[in-house]
A = this chain, B = another copy of it.
Amino acid sequence: MLDVARAAKVSVATVSAVVNGSAPVSPQLRDRIETAIREIGYKRNAIARSLKMGTTRTIGLMVADITNPFFTDVVAVIQDVLHRAGYAVMLCCNDEDVGMQDEQIELLLDRMVDGLIIAPAGDDAHLKRILAGASVPTVLIDRLCDGIDTDAVVLDNRRAVHDAAIYMLDLGHRRIGYISGSLDTSTGRDRLAGYRSALEAKKLAYDESLVRIGNFREKDAYKAAMQLLTSPERPTAFFSANNLMVIGVMKAIRDMGLRCPDDVSVASFDDFPWADIFQPHLTTIAQPVQAIGEQSAQLMLDRLSGQSPSQPRRLVLQGRLMIRDSCRPLQADAPDGTRREAS
């Protein structure tokens, strides 16, 4: 910028004025400066600008797992609308781990992001302290955190799995293995709550031995499903609390020499683009990823432009049960879980 100023024989203040259009400049000077800029190939240094302005036009985005198609779908949407609004996105993931989460948030805050969009790994005391200390606007997606009172967009998880569980119960299933996510997350808790409320609605007892914690990852879910499948009274159906885990469940079923849906029914949270092509066609709960992305980004943009109400806004969207054919009616009671052909 100094070089440009020298070349055009003006002050840096004037160069700044034409670069930002922040002050009126006579046509001759503007011209001289613009050609100087072009000749030198000058690019404004965003770092210096950020330092002076106290704003980076960058927002930090942290999801739990970048490998999870649900998250990548909403990330893509968020990036799109934020980019359109002139913001860059700094993406990271916590790998479902609060330690990692703290590190990553510090990293983003260090870099002075203007805002934070987070799918938290857990109810983390440290995170709360950091967020309280930092004065950047924050919006939570997918998951809520008890002590963190900010804008958020989440799903009505309880209701979604309630409906799915009712569907399975109506099919006659009584022993539905439930592969849960971490109960440190609101999604983990709410989805399980939906399962329980469905049992309650049907006046059935909640059997703790049927639920296993799978941490939202395939590996743990596989083990969990294996345990359930090798137990004396194995479940006739499974519900998986997310997309990654259902893969683990299906692997366990296959490795036990069983078949879905012939031997065991399966349903899952989160939809797949290939769910109605590959067999078994999985019955799932589809999330409105587009809406989640758009609305969370918009919440952030509103907050950034200072035109949102001071109290936090919470959006809760509804999932959609996609009934396909990975669940079969249970023909008759099979008390000890012995195999039984359907239809």
Identify A277's interface contact among B43, B83, B103, B251, CB under 8 A. B251
Stretch at the interface among A64-72, A138-146, A162-170, A176-184: A64-72
CA distance A73 to B218 in the complex (A): 14
Is the pair B280, A41 in contact by a Cβ cutoff of 8 Å? no
The distance from the CB of A288 to the nearest CB of chain B, in whole angstroms, is 16
Chain A's interface size range is 35 or more
**In the complex, chain A residues 65-124 whose Cβ is within 8 Å of any chain B Cβ:** 66-67, 69, 72-73, 75-76, 79, 83, 88-93, 103-104, 107-112
Is the pair B274, A111 in contact by a Cβ cutoff of 8 Å? no
State whether A93 and B66 are in contact (beta carbons under 8 Å apart), knowing that A47-B56, A51-B51 are contacts in the complex. no
Is the pair B51, A79 in contact by a Cβ cutoff of 8 Å? no
> In the assembled complex, which residues on chain B have CB atoms less than 8 Å from the CB atom of A88?
90, 92, 107-108, 111
**Interface residue A279 (Cβ < 8 Å from any Cβ of B):** yes
Total copies of the chain: 2
**Interface residue A45 (Cβ < 8 Å from any Cβ of B):** yes
> In the assembled complex, which residues on chain B have CB atoms less than 8 Å from the CB atom of A218?
273
Identify A48's interface contact among B51, B58, B72, CB under 8 A. B51
> In the assembled complex, which residues on chain B have CB atoms less than 8 Å from the CB atom of A171?
none
State whether A47 and B247 are in contact (beta carbons under 8 Å apart), knowing that A67-B73, A75-B66, A76-B66 are contacts in the complex. no
**Interface residue A331 (Cβ < 8 Å from any Cβ of B):** no
> Would you give 29 A-B contacts (Cβ < 8 Å), ordered by A?
A43-B109, A43-B110, A44-B110, A45-B112, A46-B110, A47-B47, A47-B111, A47-B112, A48-B51, A56-B111, A58-B111, A66-B72, A66-B75, A66-B79, A67-B69, A69-B69, A72-B72, A79-B93, A83-B107, A88-B111, A89-B90, A89-B91, A89-B92, A90-B90, A90-B91, A250-B278, A254-B277, A279-B279, A279-B280
Which 9 residue pairs across A and B have the least CB separation, nearest first?
Answer: A278-B278, A91-B91, A279-B279, A46-B110, A250-B277, A47-B51, A47-B50, A47-B112, A247-B274
